[in-house]
């Protein structure tokens, strides 16, 4: 099939676009508002976009259930720091729970049933139960073309200042995906867990 995104004339019951770009890693983002209240939410429009310097992006798109921008974005405007907590299979229900449209002042660590752990270089807390965290400082909030529900989409660009890895995840000097059990988003309500790994050295030229 072929369809044009301008008209979405795919003829399918659901827009297939997100099922066509997969898997999408999930950044489970913690932030603090200006009053020091913590917030936690998953974002699958998320990725590492540069190693040197170490840069990540995530995209809070569309409105909060109570209107206006999503809390993660509002918080970053008040306190320009965030933590990326690794989304893992054992935390899948907590991750999903933290995406519910909680009221603005609801602490989503509590709502999702996870524990706050102090960060080293930034003020937002980490999810203690997650085995890997990236402590980040905000570089830029980039407004994207278009809007959903009257609110523009945004891309948050952050610089990774510090990385926590549970030592149990390190085998023979490598952070091992078999141990991390990271999850990712597919289309619709589908997820994948990274549990089939193969190794392929890069080609060399002479
Ligand atoms: C796995 C998963 C991935 C999500 N990815 C995104 C995303 O990339 N961008 C977005 O705006 N919302 C995304 N959402 C929805 C947000 O998590 C949800 O709107 C959340 O309530 C926003 O929280 P906040 O207002 O506390 O920032 C996702 C939800 C789930 C369950």
Please check whether residue 175 lies inside any domain of the structure.
yes
- pLDDT tens digits, 146-196: 888 889 999 999 999 999 999 999 999 999 999 999 999 999 999 999 989
Cβ 68 under 6 angstroms from ligand 1 = no
* Any domain includes 9: no
Residue 162 is assigned to a structural domain of this protein? yes
Q: For 122-152, how does the pLDDT look when each residue is reduced to its tens digit (9 = 90+)?
A: 999 999 999 999 999 999 999 999 888 889 9
- In-domain check, residue 120: yes
**Closest protein CA for atom 5 of ligand 1:** 43
Which ligand 1 atom sits closest to the C-alpha of 64?
Answer: 25
114: domain CATH number is 2.30.110.10
Backbone torsion region of residue 204, taken as left when φ is above 0, otherwise alpha when ψ lies between -120 and 50, otherwise beta: beta
Would residue 202 count as lying in a domain?
no
- Is residue 71 in a domain? yes
Give phi and psi for 93, each to the nearest 5.
-70, -35
* Phi, psi at 48, each rounded to 5°: -85, 125
Q: How many domains, the chain?
A: 1
Domain that holds residue 34: 26-193
Asked whether residue 15 is assigned to any structural domain, the reply reads no
Total residues found in the chain within this entry: 206
What is the Cα–Cα distance from 92 to 151, expressed in whole angstroms?
28
Q: Is 25 in the pocket of ligand 1 (CB under 6 A)?
A: no
Which atom of ligand 1 is nearest the CA belonging to 96? 31
The Å distance, Cα 162 to ligand 1 centre, comes to: 24
Is residue 40 in some structural domain? yes
pLDDT band with cut points at 50, 70 and 90 for residue 101: confident
């Amino acid at each position: 099939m072929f369809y044009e995104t301008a008209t979405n004339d795919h003829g399918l019951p659901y827009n297939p676009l997100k099922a066509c770009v997969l898997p999408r890693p999930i950044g489970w983002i913690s932030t603090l508002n200006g009053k020091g209240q913590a917030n936690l939410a998953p974002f699958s429009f998320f990725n590492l976009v540069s190693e040197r310097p170490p840069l990540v992006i995530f995209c809070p798109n569309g409105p909060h259930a109570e209107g206006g921008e999503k809390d993660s974005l509002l918080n970053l405007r008040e306190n320009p720091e965030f933590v990326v907590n690794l989304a893992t299979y054992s935390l899948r229900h907590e991750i999903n729970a933290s995406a519910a449209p909680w009221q603005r002042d609801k602490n989503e660590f509590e709502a999702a049933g996870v524990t706050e752990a102090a960060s080293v270089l930034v003020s937002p807390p980490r999810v203690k139960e997650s085995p890997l965290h990236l402590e980040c400082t905000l570089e830029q909030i980039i407004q994207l073309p278009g809007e959903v529900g009257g609110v523009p989409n945004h891309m948050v660009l952050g610089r990774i200042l510090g990385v926590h890895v549970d030592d149990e995840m390190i085998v023979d000097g490598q952070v091992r995906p078999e141990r991390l059990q990271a999850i990712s988003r597919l289309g619709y309500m589908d997820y994948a867990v990274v549990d089939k790994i193969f190794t392929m050295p890069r080609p060399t030229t002479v």
